[in-house]
Amino acid sequence: MQRYKKPKPMGWHVFVGRRQLDVIGWLAANDIKSYDVLVEWCEDNNVVPPSPYDMKGVFVTKRKPRPQPQPQRPKAPKRTPLKRVEKVDPEA
């Protein structure tokens, strides 16, 4: 009796390249919304999952809210320049 030999896992880049996949569209079509779900899918389908670094920009996580800027001090009122006074000639 012959034993079934499990095939070697295919690398992620080979998988994407052979099928000429649009990765973002493929992820949406397969309802894969996080890296962990992708790793699970890859293990089930005998594909070596990509590194988290490779998928860094694909899965967008919620960002921390930006801190509110502190209110600035009110600006000082503009100074009006002093008017020049003509000098009076004492001999005239």
Domain residues for the domain of 19 are: 10-48
pTM: 0.57
Return the minimum-mean-pLDDT range out of 22-26, 40-44, 88-92: 88-92
| Number of domains composing the chain | 1
Beta strand residue intervals within the chain, DSSP E: 10-11, 47-48
Asked whether residue 19 is domain-assigned, the answer is yes
- Give 38's pLDDT tier (boundaries 50, 70, 90): very high
**How far, in Å, are 17, 49, 61, 81, 88 from residue 29 at the CA level?**
18, 18, 19, 70, 90
In the predicted model, what is the mean pLDDT of the chain?
Answer: 84
Asked whether residue 83 is domain-assigned, the answer is no
Asked whether residue 37 is domain-assigned, the answer is yes
Asked whether residue 44 is domain-assigned, the answer is yes
Q: What is the mean pLDDT of residues 17-37?
A: 89
Asked whether residue 62 is domain-assigned, the answer is no
Asked whether residue 69 is domain-assigned, the answer is no
Asked whether residue 21 is domain-assigned, the answer is yes
